[in-house]
Structure 1
Amino acid sequence: MFTDTYELACFVPSRLDGRALETLITLTSSRPYGSYRSTSGPNSTSSLGASSSSSNSNSTSTPDSERAIIFLHPYAPLGGQFRNNIIYEVNTRLGRRGSLSIAFNLRGAGRSEGRTSWTGLSEQEDLRSILDMVKSQRLVLHDARHPPAERRSLLLQMQARGHIDAAVDIDQLDAVPLPRITNTLLCGYSYGSMIAAAIGPAEYPQLGVDYVYISFPYSVIWALAMSKRSLYLQRIAETVSAAAAAFAAGAKGKHIARTLFVAGTSDTYTSISSYNKWWEQLAAKALQAVQAADDAVDAADAKRAVGQALTLVRAQNADHSWLRREGEVTDSIESWWWARHQSP
C-alpha cells in the first residue's frame, strides 16, 4: 500500500463559454500499486477510480476513496477567491481525507477569465463544469493554457507518482483521470454558498451531494443575485424538505442530501435573528413536507427527520470573516460530515 498526495494547479474550461477557470486539484491515494485501470473503453473505470460497481446509497460507511470536496469562494469583486482563509483552512485539514478536493476560482476571480455576473447564473455553469468532470472521472484541461507538451509532462509525472497505472499509454489519454466519487460535499463560503445552493442533488445523483453553507449571505442575497434571489432560497427549501421526507420514509439504497449551516452570531451581513427566523421557516417547511408525504408519521419521528436533513451551527461572537476562528468552522464540518461515514 502507498499513500500519496498530488496537487495540480491548472485551468479548466467553463462549459458555458469556454473561459479558463483557475483550479487547484488535490488527489490523495492509498491503494496497492498496480490496482488502477485505464479510462479508455466504454466499460472501464478511471485509472484512479475504484473498480466497485456498487450504487450510491445512504450508508454510513462510504469509503474515503469515494469522497470529494468542492470549495466555492466569497464574492470576487470584494476580493473573494479560492485562497481565502476559510477555504484554505478547511481544504488543508479536510481536503486530503477523501481522494479528491477541488478549489477553483469562479469567473472574474483570481486568474480565472471573465467577470462576475449580476445573478450568479454564469457561475452556476462554472460549478457544473467541475461537477461534470467529477461525474465523468475526466479532468479536461483548457487547451490555450495547457499545450500538448505540457499535458504530456503532467501525465508522466502523475504516472511516476503511481496515480496512473504504469501500463497505461499516456499518449492515449485525452484528460487527467479522476477517481470514482459517490459522495460529494459542496462547501460554499458566503457568495460561494449561494452558488452551491443552486445545484439540486437530483442533478448529479451519482455524486451523492451534501451541502455546507458557511456564512450564507441571506440578508444581502438581493444584491448578489438581483432578480434571481428567490431561485436560491427556494432551491435550499426544496432540498431540505425532500431530504426530511426521505429520512422520515426510511429511504434505503440511495443517497439523501444533508445540509449544514455554519454562521457567526455577529455576522457582518446577516444578524443572528434573521438567520434564526429563516432557519425556523426552513424547518417548518421541511416538517410540512414530511407530514404531507405521510400524514400518519409520528411527530417525534418527523422532527427527527428534519434534524437529520438540516443541521445548524451558531458560533458565538464570530463575524463574517472568521479571522483566527477558521478552526471552529473546520471542526464543525469534520464532526458533521465525517461522523456520518464512520462504520458502526
Structure 2
Amino acid sequence: MALDVFELPCFVASRLDGRALEARITIAAQAAPGQRALIYIHPYPPLGGQFRNNVVHELSSRFDSSVGVSVAFNLRGAGASEGRTSWTGTSEQEDLRSILDMLHHQLVQLHPARHSAADLRSVLIQMQARGFLHDDVDVARLDGVPLPSIASTLLCGYSYGSVISSAIAADEYPELGIDYAHISFPYSVVWALALQKRGWYLQRIASTIASAALAFAAGPECMGRHIPRTLFIAGTADTFTATPAYDRWWAQLRGKALDALNVARPELSVSAAECAVDKALTTVSVHNADHGWMRRESEVSDAIEAWWWHTQSPGDCSEEVDAEWAVVPRRYN
C-alpha cells in the first residue's frame, strides 16, 4: 500500500565527531507501529559517490512510498557532508550508526550548526498541517522530528556502501530487524577501499551469514527473534569484480555456513542444512549488467522487491525443506 510521505532534506550530526551529514529523510504519514525502514548507502565518495547516484535514486523512487521511513544520506566527504573519506571505512561506519541511532530513538535531531530552532519549528508545523503529526502534539515541546517505530530495516549498500553496511552487526540494533542488500559489492577491490581492513569486512559477512543459517536451522527455538538475511546483487559484466570471482566467493560463504551447521548441528539432514543457508544467503546475477547499472537500475529494485517484500517469513528448517519459503540463487537473463 502506498503511503503519503513527507520529505525532509536536512543535516544531522555524526556520532563520531559531530560532522554534519547531508541527508534526505522521507517519513510516512501517521505510519503504523512496526513499519519498515530503508537506508541507502552510496558508492565511494572520491570517485563521485553520493546519495544522488542513479541506483540510489531508482531505489528511492521505487520504495520510499511503501515504507515508514527511508533515509538517503551522504557519508563524510560526499556531497555537502563535512569531513573526508577515511582509509579504512571505520569513520563511515559511525556515520551509518548515527542514522541507525536515529531510527532507534525515533527522533531526527537536526544539526545545530546547520539548522536553527526556527527551522525545526517550521518543519514540525508543516508536518502537523499535512497530517504527519497529530493535532494534539505540542510542537513547541519537541526537540527533534519524531519518527515512527521500526521493526524491519533494510541496509541497501551499493558498491563501497555495501562494504560499510556489512560492518554493522544486526544484533547491535535488534529492535530494528536489520537485513542486508549488497549491490555490486566490490569484492575484488575491497583492498583498495579499506586497506588492511579487507579481511575484517569479509569475515564479518561470513559470520553474519553463518550465524543466520544456524538460527534458521533452529526453527521454533528462534521464533520471535529477527534473523538477518543477506542478498547479493551483481551484474555479470561488473567492471571491478568478474563473475567467476563472485561465484567462488559466494560458494565459499555457503561452504562456511554449511561447515558451521555441520559442527553445531550434526544431526541436521543435508536438505535442512541447505535450506537454512538458502534463507540466510541469496545471490542474484544480472546478465550483462555492469557496475554502474545505467539503464538497468530497475532490475536492482526488482530483485530487492522480490526478495525483501515476498520472503519475510523465515519458515522452519529444523526438518525437511519448506518449499513455500525456500529461496534459491537466481540469475536474470
- How far off its partner does 1:292 sit? 1.7
Structure 2 unmatched ranges of 5 or more: 314-323, 325-333
Q: Does 1:182 align with 2:155?
A: no
1:281 is paired with a residue whose SS is helix
Matched, 1:236 2:174: no
Matched, 1:166 2:130: no
What is the Cα deviation at residue 140 of structure 1?
A: 1.0
User: Aligned letter for 2:165?
Assistant: A
Question: Quick check: 1:127 aligned with 2:96?
Answer: yes
Given that 2:157 and 2:165 are in contact with CA atoms closer than 8 Å, whether structure 1 keeps it comes out as: yes
CA distance in 2, matches of 1:156, 1:106: 29
Number of the residue aligned with 1:18: 18
Answer yes or no: is the 8 Å Cα contact 1:49–1:178 preserved in 2.
no
- Corresponding residue number in structure 2 for 1:150: 119
Matches within 5 A, 1:1-344: 3-29=3-29, 50=33, 66-250=35-219, 251-341=222-312
Cα deviation 1:211-260 (Å, max 9, x = unaligned): 00000000000010011111111110010000011111112110000000
Change (3 A) 1:49 1:138: farther
Runs of 4+ in structure 1 over 4 Å off: none
Instruction: Quote the sequence identity (%).
Output: 59
| Structure with more relative contact order (C-alpha pairs < 8 Å, separation 6 or more) | 1
Distance 2:266 2:233 in 1: 32
Residue 252 of structure 2 aligns to a residue whose secondary structure is helix
Letter in 1 for 2:97: R
Deviation of 1:165 (Å): 1.2
Could you say which residue in structure 2 is the equivalent of 1:40?
none
- Structure 1 residue runs without a partner (length 5+): 32-47, 51-64
Paired with 2:176 and 2:279, the residues of 1 have a C-alpha distance of: 19
1:3 Cα deviation after fit: 4.4
Instruction: State the match for 2:318 in structure 1.
Output: none
Amino acid in structure 2 at the alignment position of 1:134: L
TM-score relative to the length of structure 2: 0.91
Give the partner amino acid of 1:150: D
User: Does the C-alpha gap of structure 1 residues 297 and 177 become closer, same or farther in structure 2, counting only changes over 3 Å?
Assistant: same
Q: TM-score, normalised by structure 1?
A: 0.88
How many pairs were matched up? 313
How far off its partner does 1:321 sit?
A: 0.3
Q: 1:155 to 1:115 in 2, by over 3 A?
A: same
Q: State the alpha-carbon separation in 2 of the partners of residues 169 and 97 from structure 1.
A: 28
